[in-house]
Structure 1
Amino acid sequence: MSIPAEDFTDANGTIADRIFDRLRHAIVVGEIAPGSKISEPVLAARYGISRGPLREAIRRLESSSLVDRKPNVGARVITLTSEQLLEIYAIREALEGMAARLAAEKMPDAGIADLRRLLDQHRNEVAQEAWQAYFQEEGDLDFHFRIVQGSGNRRLANILCNDLYHLARMYRCQFGMRSDRARDALKEHELIVDAISDRDGELAEWLMRRHIRISRRATERRLAEMQRNS
């Protein structure tokens, strides 16, 4: 059943903004599968909106590298390769390390306190999953997102939060939530916050880079295991 267009409008954004957010979420969590064709008539009918805002939203999805458009083929949801995923990890290691260093220099005390409360929430959620899952919600409920925003560098935040962030989440959703690193990852997050709280930018950067590097190696092992089992 179509969703009325007014459901996509509010004081905080246009119809294009809202449909972009809805489609991006659907792609990231796998509701729209990798490789799926993006059909303007189907989506316009499904969401009860005109083609103009929908085209704008699709263009923004292309700019976010979540959708690829080819001549005579049309727009499709991207299908990332394992090589592209590891490239994302390499970029994240460098840029998020920088973000952690800047956060140690610029993040307000209140922001650091909020970050500690967020980790308390994560700890409770991970414990409920028997320490076998550490899957964070989007935006302000995501530890890495919060650190990047705390860096105070808008250009850095734009690169990480409007492009790489959603690509990385897309892969995490596809791989599933189970992990043998939940307890260790949470501890690594806590050490990073300690360094930021101590205003030790050099240590915060080193800890963040190490954290992402360890995650990359765990992902490489998982990819290798998936290949062996395929």
Structure 2
Amino acid sequence: MGGKLSTKSEESRGPVPERLATELRGDILGGRLQPGARLGEVALAERFEVSRGPVRAALNLLSETGLVTIVPNSGARVRVMSRADARALYEVRAALESEAAMLAAAKAEAGTARRFRVLLDQHAQEVGAHPQGAYLQGAGDRDFHMVTAQMAANPIILRYLTRELYPQLSLLRVKHRNVTGRGAKALREHERIAAAIADGDSEVAGLLMRRHIRNSWIALEAQLSEAEKDTE
């Protein structure tokens, strides 16, 4: 898990805290550091062969994106997301992504429909292979929501989604995994949103995206309830 990232003599060369944060972010979102795991500065400094200063700075960066919780006099831990946290996250997601869908529709071009078709055909093959499973998407240009946000061409929305909201959603899924049984339904919802965007219908695109996010939350909330029952 990780390895030598920088020597103490190299700390002054390059953005060491950013590199540490990237390494730790990968461990957190990859599930190698589970929610609630303690992130001790001494242990991390030894792991990366740096002083505690860059480690502390890296943890602060991760705290700003919502992946790490820092408690005074207690230290840092991988964030544990409560049901209230998850609900708030989905409320913000619905607002930002519905607006992104509306903007994408307003800026639709001749190649928009084809771009979505190629992407969703790939997703359809994957969902067809595991129809009762989760809707697993690739990163970046293989993620429907990321593609929609890119089409919106609003740098502020894209920054909030990619730097804060999506990493926190990934953290939520580390613990609860992707909701099973949503694959085929989510794909159909994506197809309707894509059609509205390609048609340039901003109002319908925004409405369908908001409804899609709400359906996703309803499915996740049910899974959260089941998880709570299992721990009782």
Q: TM-score, normalised by structure 2?
A: 0.86
Q: Which residue of 2 aligns with 1:163?
A: 164
Q: Retained in 2: the 8 A contact 1:35–1:79?
A: yes
**CA 1:158–1:41: 2 relative to 1, 3 Å:** same
- Mapped to 2, the partners of 1:122 and 1:47 lie a distance apart of 38
Q: Residue 191 in 1 paired to residue 195 in 2?
A: no
Which letter maps to 1:174?
Answer: K
Describe the superposition over 1:35-79 as per-residue Cα deviations: whole angstroms up to 9, x where unpaired: 111123322333445545433322210110111212111111111
- Is 1:228–2:229 an aligned residue pair? yes
Task: Return the offset for 1:140.
Answer: 2.9
- Relative distance call for 1:118 and 1:227 in structure 2 (3 A) is same
Say if 1:49 and 1:117 are closer, same or farther in 2 by CA, change over 3 A. farther
CA-to-aligned-CA distance 1:119-160 (integer Å, 9 cap, x gap) = 222222222224412122333322212212221111111222
Q: Secondary structure at the match of 2:207?
A: helix
| Residue aligned with 2:34, SS | coil
Give the direction of change, closer, same or farther, for the CA distance of 1:171–1:115 in structure 2 (3 Å limit).
same
Aligned amino acid, residue 113 of structure 1? R
* Identity of matched residues, %: 38
Query: Which residue of structure 2 aligns with residue 201 of structure 1?
Result: 202
- Structure 1: stretches of 5+ with no match in the other structure: 7-12
Other-structure match for 1:43: 44
Distance change in 2, residues 1:18/1:138 (3 Å):
farther
Partners of 1:107 and 1:24 in 2: how far apart? 34
Match of 2:10 in 1: none
Structure 2 letter corresponding to 1:104: A
Cα distance between partner residues in 2 of 1:211 and 1:95: 13
Say what the alpha-carbon RMSD is for the aligned residues.
2.4
Task: Give 5+ residue unaligned stretches, structure 2.
Answer: 8-13
Partner of 2:130: 129
Paired residues in the alignment total 225
In structure 2, distance between residues paired with 1:3 and 1:199:
50
Letter in 1 for 2:55: L
SS of match in other structure, 2:39: coil
Secondary structure at the counterpart of residue 158 of structure 1: helix
